[in-house]
């Protein structure tokens, strides 16, 4: 069933308080679920967030012969048949991350046919690095009628030295795909310029628990010694660092004490550093982070880059905070230079933002005012919710199906913190395309 065109109505300008628990990381769960394709043994994945993108990934796996059952937030998965190795357009168009079945399928079945994921509102999103990396392992790839058709050569994939750097640096899902393929290739692989994101580390650790031999994940050089087969696994997905960042920024913009539980502070260092520079105090106790009411934030200069630098997925939310900071902030996007869709909508709320050449200049205003705005992608929607929490009066955000892709029941959880936010059910179905996906 397609999602509906629901809206949020927020009455902002209120302080929040209380505690909110972070869900499992969407961007970890998506490639990790796909490793179930790499073994005949049963796999169990815990702390999987209940999100639309995860449902789509599970549907893709089902199409590929993986039987799945849900129990709470645990997905049990086991390959039942291997007849179909095609991930169809109808599903991949709903979520670009469907492309991360490519490496696992190729490695285990010797062939993979995966719909090309196309662009989305945050930019062009090419797949050249995925293909280049798999070809270096010996895969034979052709692009045909909108599909990536990949097969292993006679004798299978072979380990190789692979440079996986692109014009914007490393790629998270290309690293995931190549890593999965290298795990079942013959011999040793070195991936240079690998993505260092915590989600890549989670994937590598999950694969190691299945019997893979991977070292160096989390650094730009990953080494893999190929193994013949993998066993099943019982894995729990890491907490979602972007969701945690979103809640911390919500605490900061409303000048509130919010406790975010179940966080990995070591995954959030760049975000915490920017908050500190803006004068926002955050107390850290174990896995708990609490925003301390710190008054009006100060302006700051932020540059997004691959991990461990400031994450692009928290850029729009941080821009929301900058709109009410004292002074002029800049935010430079070096991962997806066109990812500024939230700016025009926040301007409708009284923000003063100008965007040019991959940079937003944000002149802080005293107050935002509620307005009707439209969500265009996942993180832009989160930014509009944050802005709406701070704005005076009513903010109505349409097309919130985007936010449902990456935040579980966000309005219910924010209400528990005292936010006045309601979901208004829409009558029309949302379009089933990845054009606004950004996932």
Residues that bind ligand EPU (CB under 6 A): 27, 30, 97, 123, 125-130, 166-168, 171-174, 195, 199, 312-313, 335-336, 378-379, 406, 438-439
Residue placing its CB nearer to ligand EPU in the complex, 20 or 97 = 97
Residue placing its CB nearer to ligand EPU in the complex, 16 or 374 = 374
DSSP string, 329-370: EEEEESSSTT--HHHHHHHTTT-EEEEETTEEEEE--S--B-
Instruction: Kindly state the smallest distance separating residue 112's Cβ from ligand EPU, in Å.
Output: 16
Q: How far is CA 168 from the centre of its chain?
A: 17
Q: How many residues does the chain have?
A: 439
Instruction: Kindly state the smallest distance separating residue 393's Cβ from ligand EPU, in Å.
Output: 28
Instruction: Kindly state the smallest distance separating residue 140's Cβ from ligand EPU, in Å.
Output: 18
Residue placing its CB nearer to ligand EPU in the complex, 319 or 438 = 438
Residue placing its CB nearer to ligand EPU in the complex, 162 or 325 = 162
**Helix (H, G, I), strand (E, B), or coil: what is residue 163?**
strand
Q: Is 43 a catalytic residue?
A: no
Instruction: Provide CB contacts within 8 A for 109, sequence distance 6+.
Output: 37, 82, 85
8-state DSSP, 99: G
Instruction: Kindly state the smallest distance separating residue 321's Cβ from ligand EPU, in Å.
Output: 18
**Helix (H, G, I), strand (E, B), or coil: what is residue 284?**
strand
Closest CA to 134 of 164, 108, 93: 164
Interhelix angle for 172-183 vs 102-109, to 10°? Answer: 10
DSSP string, 259-293: EEES--GGG-HHHHHHHHHTT-EEEEETTEEEEE-
Instruction: Provide CB contacts within 8 A for 55, sequence distance 6+.
Output: none
Element (H, E) at 206: helix 198-209
Of the residues 43, 100, 120, 180, only one is catalytic, namely 120
**Helix (H, G, I), strand (E, B), or coil: what is residue 389?**
helix
Q: How far is CA 400 from the centre of its chain?
A: 17
Interhelix angle for 52-63 vs 26-34, to 10°? Answer: 10
Instruction: Kindly state the smallest distance separating residue 223's Cβ from ligand EPU, in Å.
Output: 21
Residue placing its CB nearer to ligand EPU in the complex, 109 or 130 = 130
Residue placing its CB nearer to ligand EPU in the complex, 232 or 439 = 439
Catalytic residues: 120
């Amino acid at each position: 069933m397609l999602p509906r065109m629901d809206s949020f109505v927020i009455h902002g300008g209120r302080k929040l308080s209380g505690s909110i628990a972070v869900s499992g990381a969407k961007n970890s769960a998506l490639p990790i679920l796909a490793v179930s394709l790499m073994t005949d043994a049963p796999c169990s994945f815990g702390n999987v967030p209940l999100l639309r993108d995860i449902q789509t990934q599970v549907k893709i796996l089902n199409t590929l012969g993986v039987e799945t059952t849900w129990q709470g937030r645990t997905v049990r998965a086991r390959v039942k048949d291997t007849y179909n190795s095609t991930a169809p357009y109808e599903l991949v168009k709903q979520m670009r991350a469907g492309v991360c079945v490519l490496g696992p399928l190729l490695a285990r079945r010797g062939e993979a046919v995966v719909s090309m994921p196309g662009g989305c509102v945050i930019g062009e999103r090419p797949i050249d690095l995925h293909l280049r990396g798999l070809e270096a392992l010996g895969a034979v790839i052709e692009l045909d009628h909108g599909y990536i058709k990949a097969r292993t050569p006679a004798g299978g994939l072979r380990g190789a030295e692979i440079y996986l750097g692109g014009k914007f640096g490393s790629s998270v899902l290309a690293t995931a795909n190549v890593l999965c393929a290298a795990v079942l290739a013959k011999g040793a692989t070195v991936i240079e310029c690998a993505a260092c994101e915590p989600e890549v580390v989670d994937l590598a650790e999950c694969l190691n628990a299945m019997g893979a031999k991977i070292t160096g994940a989390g650094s730009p050089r990953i080494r893999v010694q190929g193994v013949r087969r993998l066993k099943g696994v019982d894995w729990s997905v890491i907490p979602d660092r972007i969701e945690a960042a979103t809640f911390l920024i919500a605490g900061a913009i409303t000048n509130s004490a919010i406790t975010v539980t179940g966080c990995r502070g070591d995954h959030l260092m760049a975000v915490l550093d920017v908050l500190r520079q803006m004068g926002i105090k955050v107390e850290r106790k174990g896995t708990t982070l609490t925003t301390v009411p710190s008054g009006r934030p100060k302006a700051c200069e932020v540059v997004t880059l691959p991990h461990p630098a400031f994450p692009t997925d928290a850029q729009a939310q941080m821009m929301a905070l900058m709109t009410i900071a004292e002074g002029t902030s800049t935010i430079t996007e070096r991962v997806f230079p066109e990812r500024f869709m939230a700016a025009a909508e926040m301007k409708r709320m009284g923000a003063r933002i100008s965007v040019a050449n991959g940079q937003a200049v944000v002149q802080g205003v005293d107050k935002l005012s509620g307005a009707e705005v439209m969500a265009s992608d996942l993180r832009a929607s989160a930014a509009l919710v944050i802005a709406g929490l701070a704005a005076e009066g009513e903010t109505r955000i349409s097309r919130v199906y985007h936010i449902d892709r990456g935040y579980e029941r966000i309005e219910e959880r924010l209400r528990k913190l005292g936010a006045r936010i309601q979901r208004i059910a829409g009558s029309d179905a949302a379009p089933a395309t990845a054009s606004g996906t950004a996932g």
